[in-house]
Each structure stands twice: as C-alpha cells, then as structure tokens.
Amino acid sequence: MNLLIDIGNTNLHWARQDAAGLGPMTGVRHGGGLPLDLLAAWEALDPPRRVLVGNVGGADLGETVARVVRAYWGLEAQFAVTRRDCLGLRVAYAQPTRLGVDRWLALLGALGRGAAAALVVDVGTAATFDVLASAGQHLGGLILPGLTMMRDSLFAGTRIPPGEPEPTDEPWAADTGAAVATGSLHALAALAERLHQRLWDRLSESAGAGSAPPPALLITGGDGPRIAPLIARPLELVPELVLCGLARLASTQWRPEN
C-alpha cells in the first residue's frame, strides 16, 4: 500500500493506493498544521510501502508531514517535484519548477485517465487553468484568484458592503453581496468555456480536414462542484485528480531525484 498526500494552500487530501487502485479520498483543512483526527487516522493505517507528497502548502507544513511519516512508519516521504518530461507529459515552462507541483500532478492525472487533449481546471484557493494538447504537450495556463479570494479582494478594495454573498440561481442578482458571489462563479465558468473552445479550435486547425474531437474538460479542486453546473459543455468532475497524478508516480520507480 502507498499513501498519497496532496497538501494544498488550505486543505490536505490523502488516499491509499493498493493493487486495486486509488482508494477513497479524505480531506481536512490543515490551518498550517495537522489536525488531531488526521493524525489518529494515519496512526491506524497499515504501514505503507511508500509515501508520496505533492505540497504547495509551504515548507513548514511539508516538514511536519515528513516528521510524522518518519515517526509512524520509519519512512522518508517523497515530495514530488515538477519535471520537464515525465510519463508522457512535456511541460511548456522554460523553467519547469515554476509550474506548481499541484498543476503538474493534475496534468499527469489527466494523461493517466486517457485524455489525449484536455483543459484542466483546479478551483481552490487559486483557480488554475492548464491546457494540454495532443501527445502530452502542455501549452501553458492561467491563474486567477479562487472564489473566496476574488470576493474578499473586491470587498477589501472597494466600499461595497459585503452583505450576504450567496450566489443566485440566475446569472444576475438584485443584491450587492449576491452580485459579487454570482459574478465570481460565472467569471471562472466563462473562462473555462472560452479556453476550452480556443483549445478545440487549435486542435481542429492542426487536424486539417474536418474538426478534431473536443478535448476533455476536467474540473477539480474544492470549489469545482460550484462552477461545474454553470459550464455549458460536457465535463468531468475529478476531485482526486492531483492524487491520480501521484498514483502514476507511485506506480513507477520514480524518485524525487530522478
């Protein structure tokens, strides 16, 4: 059994991987530390063979996880590091390590699900959009504030009273707080549609005669289910996509120094 850990800016998710595949994902808010219920759950686990970690939550939290792994199982946690070429994925960045490891792992996860081309949208503390063309070529991506950060920055930078920032079922609102909440949801959903269409157009141009099949649209992250209903095209919600990328690494002889 392998233990796979995804440390985000706000939440920590983990799952076990065994011969049957990836198990159920469990998530907690970490607040910069490891909650007691998480420690109790890990203490009850059968000893893993390997522990792989994707960490964008900061060096201190990563070191805390590493210490717990040593104390519980006598293992060294293996922290994923973005590589230019790995398991069929080629990163577009001139400096690959500047691509967040969570984004890289999500792209590896998308390839592992058989996506020939895809737009990968991760809606968490930040909202990231990564474009994957055919044959594993990453074209680049975009980063925006996530829903909470987008709303908070607007309220902080204006004199708009926050009110009750609950979105409406309509694409507009008759209250300022609801207008901000609804607007942030539609902004991210509309960008997902726009980038997906741009990618599809590009693939069709490259295909020559006829139109290329539509690329996959994969939505992940804690707020993914909030924007998914607003996107007017086929998509897949894959909350565990980063862990899927870690699972691909764990199924190989990959090591951080490779």
pLDDT of residue 116: 86
| pLDDT the model gives residue 154 | 87
pLDDT of residue 140: 97
b/e map 93-108, b = 16+ CB within 10 Å = eeebeebbbbbbbbbb
- The C-alpha angle with vertex 18 and arms to 14 and 20, in degrees rounded to 5, equals 115
| Predicted local confidence at residue 157, as pLDDT | 84
* pLDDT-based confidence at residue 245 (cuts at 50, 70, 90): very high
185 annotated among ligand-binding-site residues: no
Confidence category of residue 236, pLDDT binned at 50, 70, 90: very high
**Are 97 and 195 in contact, with CB atoms under 8 Å apart?**
no
Q: What CATH number was assigned to the domain covering residues 116-237?
A: 3.30.420.40
Tokens of 189: 């959903």
Q: Which residues of 112-138 are buried (b: 16+ CB within 10 A; e: fewer)?
A: beebbbbbbbbbbbbbbbbbbbeebeb
Give tens-digit pLDDT for 188-234.
999 999 999 999 999 998 877 667 889 999 999 999 999 999 999 99
Q: What is the pTM of this model?
A: 0.94
Helices marked H in the chain: 36-43, 59-73, 101-112, 147-157, 176-207, 224-227, 241-250
Q: Per the annotation, does 130 bind a ligand?
A: no
Average pLDDT over residues 114-126: 94
pLDDT exceeds 90 at position 258: no
Is 26 a known ligand-binding residue?
no
What is the structure's pLDDT at 167?
A: 81
pLDDT tier, 164 (very low <50, low <70, confident <90, very high otherwise) = low
* Beta-bridge partner residues of 177: none
List, by residue range, all CATH 3.30.420.40 domains of the chain.
1-113+242-258, 116-237
| CA 74 – CA 69 distance, rounded (Å) | 7
> Candidates 3.30.420.40, 2.60.40.420, 1.10.357.10, 3.30.70.260; correct CATH number of 1-113+242-258?
3.30.420.40
| Residue 6's pLDDT band (cuts 50, 70, 90) | very high
| Residue 103 marked ligand-binding | yes
Other Cβ atoms within 10 Å of 27 Cβ, number? 17
The pLDDT-based confidence of 77 (bands split at 50, 70, 90) is: very high
11 assigned binding-site residue: yes
46 is catalytic: no
Lookup: tokens for 119: 């737009």
C-beta neighbour count of 15 within 10 angstroms? 21
Q: Which of 102, 130, 169, 175 is catalytic?
A: 102
State which amino acid sits at residue 55: N
Q: For position 165, what pLDDT does the model report?
A: 65
Nearest to 206 by CA among 122, 144, 117: 117
pLDDT digit string, tens, across residues 24-62: 999 999 988 899 999 999 999 999 999 999 999 999 999
Q: Does 8 count as an annotated binding residue?
A: yes
Is residue 29 classed exposed, middle or buried when 0-12, 13-18 and 19+ CB atoms within 10 A define those classes?
exposed
Q: Give the Cα separation of 219 and 55 in Å (integer).
A: 20
**pLDDT above 90: percentage of residues in the chain:** 77
pLDDT on residue 218: 98
Distances (CA, A) of 218 to 117, 122, 132, 245: 11, 8, 11, 13
**Averaged pLDDT, 101-110:** 98
Q: What value does the mean pLDDT take over residues 106-118?
A: 94
Phi, psi of 105 (to 5 degrees): -65, -40
Ligand-binding annotation for 46, yes or no, is no
Inform me whether the pLDDT recorded for 177 exceeds 90.
no
Residues 82-105 have a mean pLDDT of: 96
